[in-house]
Amino acid sequence: MSENVYKIRPAGRHLLTIGRDLIQDSYAAIVELVKNAYDADSESVEIHFKATEKPSENINGNPEKRIEITVRDYGHGMSQDTVINKWMVPSTPDKLERRTSPNGRIMQGRKGIGRYAASMLGSTLLLETVSECAEKTTVLVNWHDFETSEYLDDVELLVETHLTDEHSGTTLTIEGGEEYYKEWNKYQFTKLNFELKKLISPVQNLINKEEDKEDQNFNIHLKISGFEDIEDIEETITPYPIFDLFDYKISGKIHANGKGTLTYALQKARNTVEEIISFDLNNYTACGDLIFDIRVYDREKESIEQLIHRGLKDDHGNYLGKLQARKILNESNGIGVYRNGFRIRPLGDPEFDWLKLNEKRIQNPSLKIGNNQVIGYVLIGSEEESDLIEKSARDGLRDNYAYKQLQKITNEVIKELEIRRFSFRRKAGLSKPTLNVEKELNRIFSFENLKQTVRKKLIGEGMNAESAEEVILLINKEEEDKSQTVEEIRQAIATYQGQATLGKIMTVVLHEGRRPLNYFKNEIPRIDKFIKKFKDTNNFENIEKIELIANNTAINAKTFSDLFKRLDPLAMGKRGAKQNLSIESEIYNCFEIFRQQMEDKGIKFDISGSAIIEAWKQDIAAIFTNLIENSIFWLSEKNPDIRKIIVNIITEENSLSHIDFCDTGPGIEPNLIEDNLIFEPQFSTKPGGTGIGLAIAGEAAERNGLKLTALESTNGAYFRLSIKGDE
pLDDT reading at 242 higher than 60: no
Angle formed by the axes of helices 437-444 and 465-504, nearest 10°: 160
Please state the rounded mean pLDDT for residues 333-356.
87
- CATH no. of 241-427: 3.30.230
- CATH no. of 14-236: 3.30.565.10
64: left (phi over 0), alpha (psi -120 to 50) or beta: beta
pLDDT of residue 469: 72
Please state the rounded mean pLDDT for residues 667-684.
79
Contact 390, 381 (CB under 8 A): no
- The three state secondary structure string of 87-130 is HCCCCCCHHHHHCECCCCCECCCCCCCHHHHHHHCCCEEEEEEE
Please state the rounded mean pLDDT for residues 634-649.
88
| Rounded percentage of the chain residues whose pLDDT exceeds 70 | 75
Enumerate the H helices of 216-321 as residue ranges: 301-309
pLDDT in tens, 165-177: 999 999 999 999 9
Phi/psi at 295 (5° precision) = -120, 135
pLDDT of residue 641: 83
pLDDT in tens, 252-306: 999 999 999 999 999 888 778 899 999 999 899 999 999 999 999 998 888 888 8
Phi/psi at 129 (5° precision) = -130, 135
Phi/psi at 250 (5° precision) = -130, 135
pLDDT of residue 143: 86
pLDDT reading at 433 higher than 80: no
pLDDT of residue 189: 92
Contact 331, 195 (CB under 8 A): no
- The three state secondary structure string of 540-599 is CHHHHHHHHHHHHHHHHHHHHHHHHHHHHHHHCCCCCCCEEEEHHHHHHHHHHHCHHHHH
CA atoms within 13 A on the CB side of 684: 21
pLDDT reading at 379 higher than 80: yes
Domain assignments of the chain as residue spans, ordered by start: 14-236, 241-427
Query: Which range among 190-199, 212-221, 314-323, 351-360 has the greatest average pLDDT?
Result: 351-360
pLDDT in tens, 514-524: 666 666 667 66
Comparison of pLDDT for 434 and 630, the residue scoring more: 630
Contact 650, 657 (CB under 8 A): yes
Q: Which of 633, 647, 623, 645 is nearest to 716 (CA)?
A: 645
pLDDT in tens, 575-602: 667 889 999 999 998 898 888 888 889 9
Q: Which of 105, 106, 115 is nearest to 83 (CA)?
A: 115
| pLDDT confidence band for 557 (50 / 70 / 90) | low
Instruction: Name the helix (H) or strand (E) containing 450.
Output: helix 448-460
Q: Which of 645, 649, 654 is nearest to 721 (CA)?
A: 649
How many CB atoms are closer than 10 A to CB 277? 17
Please state the rounded mean pLDDT for residues 447-457.
67
| pLDDT confidence band for 135 (50 / 70 / 90) | very high
